[in-house]
Amino acid sequence: MSVEKQIEDAASAPVLAVHDLRKKFAETTALDGVSFEVRPHEVVGLIGENGAGKSTLLKMLVGLAQPDSGSIELRGKRVKMRGIAQAGAAGIGMVFQEQSLIPNLTVAENILFGAEGAAVVGGVYRWKELRRRAQVQLDKIGSKIKIDAITEELTFAERQLVEVAKVLATEERTNAEPVVLLDEPTSVLDRDETEVLFAQIERLRTRASVVFVSHRLDEVLRVSDRVYVLRNGKTVAECVPGDVDEAALRRMMIGRDLEGSHYGEEDQLPVREEVRLSVRGLSIKGVCEDIDLDVHVGEILGIAGVQGSGREELCRGIFGALATRGSMTLDGRPIKPGSPRTAISADIGFVPAERRREGMVGSMSVAENITLPHIGEVCAGPVLQRGKERRLADEWIERLSIRTPSASAPLGSLSGGNQQKAVLARWMVSDSLKLLILDHPTRGLDVGAKSEVYRLIRELTASGVSVLLMADSLEELIAMSHRVLVMKDGRVTDVIDARAGDKPAPVTVLERMI
Amino acid sequence: MAAARLGLAPPETGRADARTRRRAHSTLLADFGPFGALVLLCVIFSLLSPQFATWGNVRNILDSAAVLGVIAVGLTFVLLLGAIDLSIEGVMATAAISVALLVANSRNDIDLGFIGIVAAVALGACFGLASGMLSTGLKIPSFMTTLGMSAIGIGIATVLFAGVQPSLRSPELAEWASGQWLGLTRLTFVALGVVVVGLLIQRYTRLGRYARAIGGAEELAVLSGIPVRRYKTIAFTFAGAVYGLAGVMVTIQLGSGIVQAGVGQNFAAITAAVVGGTLLSGGRGGVLHSIVGVLIVTVLVNGLVLIGVSPYVQKAVQGVIVVVAVAITAWPLRQRLRVVK
């Protein structure tokens, strides 16, 4: 875009103007005065901790929630959104964090879903017209996704592009350029896919305005023209990326300085001599081959790799959740974890990335979740000793400062950070824990909760537990790890030293990943 | 592990609190809503019929809820797993005929007495074991395996029945069954016993805990090292044994073994469990929920008779009330149930 055009756009009236939105749920104030503007062809970044009000705000923009007071103006006209369909008809579309496509329909059907127009006559699909219209949308973003592909067969990144195309389809209906809301679009993308998405955003802005919501401050700084910071339901700052850095944004988000460094690098102790886990020639059919690795006592071994590098499967294989060939020793003794059950009895723990599906039972209490894999400790034969369980849970709730009304509150009702602490407590309960495998332990957590989890991991390793870590970002991975094992296409390409005070640059690791 | 070093300062704010309270609210409604519905039904029927709120009628209700109550306890554990059990009618048929043939009866000279009853219950357990092993071993949905077991059970019962109805000829059994305590039949106390055992299992044993965990998040259960298949099979086996006992109870009530011993009970039991707040999706509810459901269903039938609703429309009225009750009790959980197939 030319400089003149930018100046002209900046001066023009906002496409979307939100003024002093307020919303109360029962006793909590979700929004406490949010105002912001989006101008034509602008990418606006929106950041804030979990609970700062980002999701409530987005929901209001697409009519999934109603403000108590305040106004939303679209192209100068005050609007009241009553649902996604109406928002779409007005030209605001959201690309959801949990995707909103119907998995068993084709891409074409999804793009035009609910707004088929002339592609459906009297309830009958006109496939040719449907394909043509959908293809127009995909062409706008220059995507080569096949229009007849079944949506569930696409990768996450591809599905995301389909959602973008779906939002762009509002353009024809409204005869105006749409506003595209991207809710944490990069949270599950790897680096390559993220780059592709950023290129798309650049392309998108020539025909739309974009609101970009993300936890990742570096990304927000990179793609946005302006950034709004939300804190406790208020817009507390508006800034231009050139004037601020990540640290400044982080301060604005939490309203204070984080004590010490975010990742607690100064607490990283030198690795001890003894090898805890030794893996030799481990292979998983069709995924990875001939993996050798050693983890020392008290060491955090980071595993880097893009999606499809086989690192997730490797970790599941070590935990016995996938069938493997090869040999493993734990503290010098050979082990053969054929199932998670045997791995657990060998004192290996695993925290999966998908907390809601694999990490916890939301409907069960905090206490019940904590004792799940070690129920034997609070059992006499088949009989549970609930008093003992309760005391154990209370002890850990206190020790890890888990914020919960009580040990019997359903875990699903806690905030993400507190849920994750309970999930970690599950393994920490065992005094004999030797190795903990952490698959993206901070995914979806806000900054404050993240640094608590980091500290917890540091404490664990200080007490001699070894950790295999897969992290959300390379920065996090390098900062946390003693060494970084790099995987590519199912093989180990490098092991990079990452001692405290001598951390490698992310690009060094990245080079070995791709 | 050096526990003392794990003292962390809590920089979290109080945001979660209200959300927690709201959720706690909705769980509360889901837990006590059905009970409220039961109370409401009782109040309405008491106002409409003077006979409803009499001790005699309460005894009536409890006695007629006994068999369904027993069945519901077994079914609850299967539902908690997120599985379903459609084998109730078949298991009850086989248990009913076999107990009638194993105690003193009109067809043969076998008289095993109490052991006959135990054998019939064990037979029920075998059916449950088979359902469980087929479901977990061959990874066939429980919907299909249990439907198959039901047909097998009815088939076996029909063969054993052989066209001649076995009547009970055991004076001790007849005397025991006709005996009352506090005005309630002994079978009602058997049912009460099963309910208590069910509650204890649910609350105080691994089976109960694991059933909820498996129904809540099966992947997590696997990753937590829970032997999921084993506990699924145990739950089905327990349920089968309980259906067997229900078959025996029906036989004692009728004084003879018939293939139709469990007809209609499968549907009634699932209805009762769901009305009571035990979700078909698994993980939520429990024995007490299901029992409240059983009472709702029983009170409904009883009350409709008392207020003189024509037997011709009773079924339809029941259906309407059941749907309304489910709609009300499931209201707080509608988010979870939004996609209902």
CATH number of the domain where residue A37 is located:
3.40.50.300
Phi, psi (rounded to 5 degrees) for A383? -95, 130
Best B220, B222, B228, B338 residue to mutate vs chain A (most A CBs within 10 Å): B220
Provide the pLDDT confidence category of residue B22 given band limits of 50, 70 and 90.
very low
* pLDDT tens-digit series, residues A169-210: 887 777 788 899 998 888 777 778 888 888 888 888 888 899
Q: What is the ipTM, given to two decimal places?
A: 0.74
What tokens does A4 get? 């003149």
Q: What is the mean predicted confidence (pLDDT) over B292-303?
A: 92
Whether A204 and A175 map to the same domain: the answer is: yes
Domain membership of residue B17 (yes or no) is no
pTM of the model: 0.72
Provide the pLDDT confidence category of residue B47 given band limits of 50, 70 and 90.
very high
What tokens does A34 get? 């949010």
Q: In chain B, pLDDT over 70 holds for what percent of residues?
A: 86
* pLDDT tens-digit series, residues A282-294: 999 888 889 999 9
Contact A361 B203 (CB under 8 A): no
Domain membership of residue A441 (yes or no) is yes
Provide the pLDDT confidence category of residue A120 given band limits of 50, 70 and 90.
confident
Higher-pLDDT residue of B338 and A145 is A145
Domain membership of residue A122 (yes or no) is no
Whether A65 and A168 map to the same domain: the answer is: yes
Provide the pLDDT confidence category of residue B36 given band limits of 50, 70 and 90.
confident
Whether A244 and A272 map to the same domain: the answer is: no
Q: Where among A202, A234, A254 does a domain terminate?
A: A254
Phi, psi (rounded to 5 degrees) for A245? -120, 180
* Average pLDDT of chain B, as a whole number: 85
B212 CB neighbours in chain A (<8 A) are 361, 363-364, 368
Instruction: Note which residues in 21-50 of chain A have CB less than 8 A from chain B.
Output: 25-28
Partner-chain residue, chosen from B16, B21, B24, that has the shortest CB–CB distance to A418: B16
Look at residue B14 and tell me whether its pLDDT is greater than 80: no
Domain membership of residue A300 (yes or no) is yes
A410 CB neighbours in chain B (<8 A) are 23-24, 27
In whole angstroms, what is the distance from residue A414 CA to residue A20 CA? 29
Domain membership of residue B96 (yes or no) is yes
B16 CB neighbours in chain A (<8 A) are 51, 403, 413-415, 418
Give the minimum alpha-carbon distance from A469 to chain B in angstroms, rounded to a whole number.
17
Q: What is the mean predicted confidence (pLDDT) over A347-370?
A: 88
Domain residues for the domain of A416 are 265-513
B206 CB neighbours in chain A (<8 A) are 375, 379, 382, 384
Say whether residue A452 is in contact with chain B using an 8 A CB cutoff: yes
3-state helix, strand, coil in chain A (%, to 5): 40, 25, 35
Contact B20 A340 (CB under 8 A): no
Whether A296 and A367 map to the same domain: the answer is: yes
Partner-chain residue, chosen from B15, B205, B223, that has the shortest CB–CB distance to A383: B205
Residue A317: predicted pLDDT: 93
Give the minimum alpha-carbon distance from A511 to chain B in angstroms, rounded to a whole number.
33
For chain A, the domain total comes to: 2
Give the minimum alpha-carbon distance from B140 to chain A in angstroms, rounded to a whole number.
21
For chain B, the domain total comes to: 1
* pLDDT tens-digit series, residues A147-158: 899 888 888 888
Look at residue B1 and tell me whether its pLDDT is greater than 70: no
Whether A328 and A352 map to the same domain: the answer is: yes
Domain residues for the domain of B274 are 34-332
Domain membership of residue B18 (yes or no) is no
* pLDDT tens-digit series, residues A436-483: 999 999 887 777 788 889 999 999 999 999 999 998 778 889 889 999
Best A104, A230, A318, A364 residue to mutate vs chain B (most B CBs within 10 Å): A364
Look at residue B42 and tell me whether its pLDDT is greater than 90: yes
* pLDDT tens-digit series, residues A203-229: 888 888 999 988 778 889 999 999 999
Give the minimum alpha-carbon distance from B324 to chain A in angstroms, rounded to a whole number.
25
Contact A340 B5 (CB under 8 A): no
Whether A204 and A230 map to the same domain: the answer is: yes
Q: Where among A210, A233, A254 does a domain terminate?
A: A254
Burial pattern A416-455, b for ≥16 Cβ within 10 A else e, equals: bbbbbbbbbbbbbbbeebbbbbbbbbbbbbbbbbbbbbbb
DSSP assignment letter at B330:
T
Whether A194 and A297 map to the same domain: the answer is: no
Contact A409 B20 (CB under 8 A): yes
Look at residue A277 and tell me whether its pLDDT is greater than 70: yes
Look at residue B19 and tell me whether its pLDDT is greater than 60: no
Provide the pLDDT confidence category of residue A257 given band limits of 50, 70 and 90.
low
Look at residue A356 and tell me whether its pLDDT is greater than 80: no
Residue A445: predicted pLDDT: 78
Angle subtended by helix axes B15-48 and B311-329, to nearest 10? 160
We report the CATH number of the domain holding residue B107 as: 1.10.3470
Instruction: Point out the least confidently predicted range of A33-37, A114-118, A282-286, A403-407.
Output: A114-118
Domain membership of residue A149 (yes or no) is no
* pLDDT tens-digit series, residues B137-195: 998 999 999 999 999 999 999 999 988 889 888 888 888 887 888 888 899 999 999 99
In whole angstroms, what is the distance from residue B128 CA to residue B145 CA? 10
* pLDDT tens-digit series, residues B59-116: 999 999 999 999 999 999 999 999 999 999 999 999 999 999 999 888 888 888 889 9
Contact B225 A319 (CB under 8 A): no
* pLDDT tens-digit series, residues A320-341: 998 889 999 999 999 987 889 9
In whole angstroms, what is the distance from residue A151 CA to residue A104 CA? 6
Please report the sign of the dihedral spanned by the C-alpha atoms of residue B212, residue B216, residue B218, residue B220. negative
What Å distances lie between residue B195 and A450, B3, B183, B321, CA to CA? Answer: 46, 42, 19, 25
B6 CB neighbours in chain A (<8 A) are 399-400, 428, 456, 459
Residue B150: predicted pLDDT: 96
Contact B216 A339 (CB under 8 A): no
Best B12, B279, B333 residue to mutate vs chain A (most A CBs within 10 Å): B12
Residue B28: predicted pLDDT: 55
Whether A213 and A287 map to the same domain: the answer is: no
Contact B227 A404 (CB under 8 A): no
